[in-house]
Chain A
Amino acid sequence: MEKLVEVKNLKKWFWIGKSPLGKKKAVRAVDDVSFYVGKKEVLGLVGESGCGKTTCGKTILRILDPTEGQVYFNGQEITHLRKKEMIMVRRKMMIIYQDPFGSLDPRMTIGSTIAEPMEVHKIGSKKEQEERVIEIMEKVGLLPDQINRYPHEFSGGQRQRIGIARALATGPEFIVADECVSALDVSIQAQIINLLQDLQKEFGLTILFVAHDLSVIKHICDRVAVMYLGKIVEAAPKRELFNDPKHPYTQALLSAIPIPDPKFRKKGQILMGDVPSPVNPPSGCRFHTRCSYVKTICREEEPELKCFENNHYVACHLFSNPVDTNLSGSAR
């Protein structure tokens, strides 16, 4: 599969003041992550709060500057591009936010909100821009005569449609959807998921779908990467991951989801303990503090992300027979 976005050893640390000894402390939000997103693929990035999935998405778009590592977009390294050079890339990649209330400027009509990316990138004349706005509004299920309304006149689901329309305005190839349905009501969530799927097919979009909800991920994604404390612990095609989860954390995550059917009530083990702090992550495998299969090596040595059958990548000492050991660390 052709790669559209490739991330190599990406790190994003946030510095938080100084400890009494004068040493700077860092929140290791994203800590050495490598993966790729194929053309027209929907990759799900899943994990619990604080695992760095959102930071990862924003660092790829260079909303945040990476601490280390490279991001390739269409084969071009974009991590070191200057502001002006970056502009050309930016029109090809956009973001959809979680909060349909916070992500729209309350003082701008939705028409100007959707047109803004085109204005910034100087695409087309005023009239062409307006035509395009109306075209996209219809695509995402908004009525063209709402063009002069303000965000507060819309419901959460409709606002999310506006956010999607804005992201699509410049005709991007790659979209980061950051928890874009988790703030919505259940009945509205389905509408937006369907809309995203339709748009993805129609425009051949490549999407990095960042979410904590595995059932949504399972519905919409082709491939899934699971993050824990700034690391990718497992990545595999969707069916492979859900039918044969290998990493103990993925297994725990899957079993923790309440299934909307009383026949499936949980009786077995559930994962205990809390997520450790990303300021001071555990040594060795970061999951070892909560893992029920923990061995001595897990405490001492950090497992590498290795490839197994069916394009299934796992970073865990329990699995030791990778298909190809040469691929060290990067999930290709």
Chain B
Amino acid sequence: MKRTRETKTHELVRRLKYNKSAVFGLAIVVILILCAIFANYIAPNSPTPSPPELFKALKPGFWSEDKVEGMPLGADAMGRCILSRILYGARVSLTAGFVAVGIAMILGITFGTLSGYYGGWVDALIMRIVDIMFAFPALLLAIVIVTVLGQGLDKAMIAIGIVYTPQMARIIRSSVLYIKEMEYIEVQKAIGSSDARIIFRHVLPNSIAPVIVYGTLMLASAILDCAALGFLGLGAQPPTPEWGAMLSKSYSYIVSGAWWAATFPGIAILFSVIGLNLLGDGLRDILDPRLKT
């Protein structure tokens, strides 16, 4: 099994090299992840200084003569270093994204595989539930779930995970439906393999490629939705440095001229979403079964 991954990775890297936008996306994502991991080394200041240094509130960054020393991107309304908060925020947002997509993957793969492999009434039942969930706008559904579960970043992650499950289930189902018809699955029946063996050893490993692609794209929207929940005050609670929350706490100051407090978290969200989308699109091109023989 080990060699599978090696050769697959090898092939992936080879194909990736020829896809410039994917490489660019990957670079952004890698930078983001590095920022998240090493935030406590890179960040010039603490994201949540106590006691708050209110005298620095809404001071501009390096572009102005009025800058505060040691805060290159300026300070927010509470006098906290925006750069540091963005770096720590990467940690929060990426974790939130990964956890949410992880939940969606676990639930989606389980239900999607059952649905696709067994078909019949199992399929009908699961797919009708999926249809019902699709009928609601994603963010609205997330808000409803958060309202039921209560506020907080952890609850927001679960809510987004649940909201993304139907999409993931559909993707894996269609993939399983395709793989199920392959002759190497049929031959398993001739051999006498059990359903569990067929699913775990043959169907799943071969249907996982689109999950990786859509997982990456979903990561981008999960970060965005998490920020949206944070913006609405339903996600991360202060003083957690979460990009969406940062944005919502600062956007009113744009009018008074302190544009930096809201702009930089916004740019951070933008870049991470662009990076993940480029990477996801690139992966789709690379893993597209139609291009493979």
Contacts and interface: CB of A to CB of B under 8 A. Distances in A.
Interface in A92-112: 93-95, 97, 99, 101-109
Which of A86, A102, A105, A108 has the most B CB atoms < 10 Å from its CB?
A105
Interface in B179-212: 182-184, 186-187, 189-194, 197, 201-202, 205-206
Interface string A118-141: 001100000000000000000000
Q: Would you call the interface of chain B mostly helix, strand, loop, or mixed? A: helix
B256 interface: no
Nearest to B181: A102
A102 B183 contact: yes
B17 interface: no
Contacts of B201: 108
A62 B260 CA distance: 70
A327 interface: no
B64 interface: no
Q: Would you call the interface of chain A mostly helix, strand, loop, or mixed? A: loop
A97 B8 CA distance: 26
Contacts of A109: 3-4
Contacts, number: 58
B192 A103 contact: no
A90 B192 contact: yes
A152 B10 CA distance: 14
A99 B190 contact: no
B7 interface: yes
Contacts of B182: 102
Contact of B192 (A87, A101, A102, A150): A87
Contact of A103 (B3, B187, B189, B206): B187
Given A104-B184, A105-B184, A105-B206, A120 B190 contact: no
A102 B189 contact: no
A91 B192 CA distance: 8
Contacts of A99: 183
A95 B188 CA distance: 10
A90 B197 contact: no
Nearest to B190: A95
A58 B187 CA distance: 10
B184 A90 contact: no
A101 B194 CA distance: 23
A247 B42 CA distance: 86
B191 A103 contact: no
Interface residues of B, number: 21
B197 A120 contact: yes
Nearest to B193: A120
A95 B202 CA distance: 18
Contacts of B191: 90, 94, 116-117, 120-121
A117 B190 CA distance: 9
A73 to B, nearest CB: 13
Interface in B147-194: 182-184, 186-187, 189-194
A197 interface: no
B192 A63 contact: no
B206 A86 contact: no
Interface in B124-139: none
Given A107-B4, A148-B3, A63 B206 contact: no
B192 A121 contact: yes
Interface in B7-29: 7-8
A61 interface: yes
A87 B205 CA distance: 25
Nearest to B11: A152
Interface string B218-242: 0000000000000000000000000
Nearest to B208: A107
A94 B191 CA distance: 7
Interface string A194-214: 000000000000000000000
A97 B192 contact: no
B184 A63 contact: no
A148 B192 CA distance: 24
Contact of B202 (A102, A105, A121, A166): A105
A63 B183 contact: no
A86 B189 CA distance: 11
A106 B193 CA distance: 18
Interface string B61-95: 00000000000000000000000000000000000
Nearest to B197: A120
Given A63-B190, A116-B191, A148-B3, 9 more contacts: A63-B186, A63-B189, A86-B192, A91-B192, A93-B190, A103-B183, A120-B194, A121-B192, A150-B3
Nearest 9 CB-CB pairings of A with B: A90-B192, A103-B183, A102-B183, A105-B184, A87-B192, A117-B191, A95-B190, A107-B205, A97-B183
11 contacts: A61-B190, A86-B192, A93-B190, A94-B191, A102-B182, A102-B183, A102-B184, A107-B4, A107-B205, A108-B201, A150-B7
